Amino acid sequence: MPESLLLKTRHDAVLQITVNRPDKLNALNAATLDALDTAFAEAAGDEGVRAIVLTGAGPKAFVAGADIAEMNSLTPVQGRDFSLRGQRMMRRVEKMPKPVIAMINGFALGGGLELAMCCHLRIAADSAKVGQPEINLGLIPGFGGTQRLLRLAGRAAAMELCLLGAPIDAQRALALGIVNRVVPAADLEAETLKLAAQLAASAPLAMRGVIDCLNVGGACGIEEALEYETAQFGLMFATEDMREGTTAFIERRKPAFSGR
Catalytic residues: 114, 134
φ and ψ at residue 81, rounded to 5 degrees: -65, -35
User: 80 to each of 77, 106, 141, 249, 260, how far by Cα in Å?
Assistant: 5, 28, 12, 51, 41
Which backbone phi and psi does 154 adopt, to 5 degrees? 95, 165
CB 141 within 8 A of CB 87: no
H or E element, residue 205: helix 204-217
Strand pairing partners for 18? 7, 55
Report the distance separating Cα 64 and Cα 131, nearest Å: 10
For residues 146 and 212, give the distance between their C-alpha atoms in angstroms, rounded to a whole number: 22
